[in-house]
Amino acid sequence: MRASAGYPIITLNEFIINRQSEHPEARGDLSRLLHHIGVAAKIVNKKINKAGLVDILGEAGDVNVQGEDVQKLDVFANDHFTAALQASGEVCAIASEENQEIITFDEGLSRDGHYVFCMDPLDGSSNIEVNVSVGTIFSIYRRLSPEGEPAELSDFLQTGEHQVAAGYVIYGSSTTLVYTTGNGVDGFTLDPGIGEFCLSHSGIRTPETGRIYSINEGNYVHFPIGVKKYIKYCQEIDPNSGRPYTSRYIGSLVSDFHRNLLKGGIFIYPQTQSAPRGKLRLIYECNPIAFIAEQAGGTATNGITRTVELHPQGLHQRVPFYVGSRSMVDKAHEFLNTYH
């Protein structure tokens, strides 16, 4: 449900506090952490909006653990989210797309932090120079290691079912923060006039089906046969089922997923001949998006198993990804099972 005129404005902080009051056992630590995420998102948003006016565009001259050229804005977003999370005192360690190893906070309150934080600080950053929407993806888990001790890699190698919260920020024509704590999905749009995220999409439910399929068809020849057959199915004319579907692909997971979440559709990034294990990262891209999708009534898999049931084997593990409206993902599975 989208908030409309006539309803009182509810800011992100007010919403978080109200939700906390629904759980008397809550200590407020997750609420404080979500507040700091919102602050970091505002800082990154401001820099992105000035990207064409300051020396923040282009490559930083480094290559990250993924073998990708690091953009200056990647570094900026990574640094500011890291600083905000450390300042919260609730996070003991971070896993980021931009860092080979986990970042641990071994001093002050952060050493006793209850949570570990996983993030892709700026998804789709290679598109920023052409003014295409980009985003931040994040996931939060309760730590497994003893409080007061340094965090360990095992804190991050939990299945997605153990996420306590997940979300993303999309920096586009407007800046929107979408998140879930396992009790539905809500979206907040940044009002630049007051500098606050305000509730704009309450209780988001993704349609059971849709008419959008999102996949990089430039890699068609490298796709598994089941994916090729499903694409042809999407393109067939069948007025009774609303086909042909519309192909929409931006190249930013956050942007493609956000559109499909609201309108109904499927996003697919399968394994290919050059990336036999898929390309998207399980821990800080697929798991948080899968958690949000399921909380909104959709589904997410690797083509066989629910994404959130997969056991991570490494910090930067890649997996195939099928996410979106439940009936569309189910139909894609039919083709995958029929054509091996």
| Pairing mode of beta strands 318-319, 280-281 | antiparallel
Residue 120 marked in a binding site: yes
Residue 327 marked in a binding site: no
Rounded-to-integer distance, Cα 54 and Cα 48, Å: 10
Residue 126 marked in a binding site: yes
Rounded-to-integer distance, Cα 129 and Cα 57, Å: 7
Residue 279 marked in a binding site: yes
CB 40 within 8 A of CB 147: no
One-letter amino acid at 229 equals K
Residue 242 marked in a binding site: no
Q: How many helices (H) and strands (E) does the chain have?
A: 7, 17
Rounded-to-integer distance, Cα 268 and Cα 324, Å: 9
CA 149 to chain centre: 29
Residue 125 marked in a binding site: yes
CA angle 78, 82, 87 (to 5 degrees): 155
Residue 55 marked in a binding site: no
Residue from 259, 270, 324 nearest 297 by CA: 324
Residue 124 marked in a binding site: yes
CA angle 120, 38, 310 (to 5 degrees): 35
CA 290 to chain centre: 8
**To 10 degrees, the CA torsion angle through 220, 256, 134, 280?**
-50
Q: Residue for token digits 């290919």? A: 272
Residue from 273, 198, 210, 281 nearest 241 by CA: 210
Residue 249 marked in a binding site: yes
One-letter amino acid at 275 equals A
Mark the binding-site residues for Mg(2+), compressed into ranges.
Answer: 97, 120, 122-123, 285
Mark the binding-site residues, compressed into ranges.
Answer: 97, 120, 122-126, 216, 249, 279, 285
Mark the binding-site residues for substrate, compressed into ranges.
Answer: 123-126, 216, 249, 279
